[in-house]
């Protein structure tokens, strides 16, 4: 047989519970406010600022590391983010990732622990790409470079093309393209800078002059000669008239 359950609410328990919760919340708010005020007056170690610590091209010494960290600790710094950079500095005695470099990094961690500092590190030797002794030039960050050779046809051209600039003694051919010289031997001024391949300053512009059609190169006039490029960058090609 089904049963029926009758419940009589306790009219006193609910209001008392509300009053208790209110006073507990009020007490917590007062404690939080006091803690925040104290934290502003005497910030905890976790609130101390961090700094970037740039290591210039392996120029590291244990004495220099200790002096830097002690100065940071005196200034109220809480931690460092190490970034190995070059910036044209002469090469030091501790190349990134080398045994000497790793020993000095262990020294960093030991000294930071002694001084109550924290240590973090960028994952590379550079600004935006992984690096180290295990990264050979052909695996590193690269850019597109080029050279130009003027040829007057018709003629049989067989010679080594001028090699573009190298970086870390590394260069690899990608393609060889031929195209007719535009009228008046026209060239875009500052083309390297516009391509962001050189440090030349290029003022921002919103309008560009219209280039006459005869000074441009139609896409269909561009000839891909990559297959005709031999060892040593030698090109063997029957150049057409022009």
Tens digit of pLDDT for each residue in 161-187? 998 888 888 888 999 999 988 877 666
**Burial of 125 per CB tally in 10 Å (0-12, 13-18, 19+):** buried
CA of residue 33 relative to chain centroid, distance: 41
The full set of domain ranges for the chain reads: 46-135, 155-239
Residues 46-135, CATH architecture: 2-Layer Sandwich (3.30)
Mean pLDDT is lowest, of 16-30, 64-78, 90-104, for: 16-30
Helix (H, G, I), strand (E, B) or coil at 50: strand
Q: 25 vs 18, 19, 31, 105, CA distance in Å?
A: 11, 10, 10, 48
Q: How far is residue 218's CA from residue 235's CA, in Å, rounded to a whole number?
A: 23
Q: Which tokens go with 178?
A: 């031929």
Q: What is the number of H-type helices and E-type strands within the chain?
A: 4, 7
Tens digit of pLDDT for each residue in 8-53? 444 444 455 555 565 556 566 666 777 888 888 887 888 899 999 9
pLDDT at site 181? 86
β-pairing verdict for 50-56 and 79-85: parallel
DSSP line for 116-156? T-EEEEEEEESSSS--STT--GGGS------------SSEE
pTM of the model: 0.48
- Greater pLDDT, 89 or 59: 59
């Amino acid at each position: 047989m089904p049963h029926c359950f009758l419940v009589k609410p306790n009219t006193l328990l609910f209001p008392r519970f509300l009053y208790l919760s209110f006073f507990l919340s009020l007490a917590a708010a007062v404690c939080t406010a006091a803690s925040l005020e104290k934290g502003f007056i005497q910030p905890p170690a976790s609130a101390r600022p961090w700094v970037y610590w740039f290591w210039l091209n392996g120029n590291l010494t244990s004495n220099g590391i200790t002096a830097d960290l002690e100065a940071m600790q005196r200034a109220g710094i809480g931690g460092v983010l190490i970034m190995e950079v070059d910036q044209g500095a002469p090469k030091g005695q501790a190349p990134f990732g080398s045994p000497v470099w790793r020993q000095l990094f262990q020294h960093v961690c030991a000294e930071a622990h002694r001084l109550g500092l924290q240590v973090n590190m960028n994952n590379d030797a550079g600004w935006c790409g992984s690096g180290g002794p295990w990264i050979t030039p052909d695996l590193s960050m690269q850019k597109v470079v080029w050279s130009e050779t003027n040829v007057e046809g018709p003629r049989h051209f067989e010679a080594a093309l001028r090699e573009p600039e190298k970086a870390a003694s590394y260069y690899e051919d990608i393609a060889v393209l031929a195209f007719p010289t535009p009228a008046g031997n026209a060239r875009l001024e500052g083309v390297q800078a516009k391509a962001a391949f050189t440090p030349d300053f290029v003022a921002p512009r919103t309008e560009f002059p219209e280039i006459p059609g005869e000074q441009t190169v139609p896409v269909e006039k561009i000839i891909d000669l990559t297959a005709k490029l031999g060892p040593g960058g030698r090109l063997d090609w029957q150049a057409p008239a022009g």
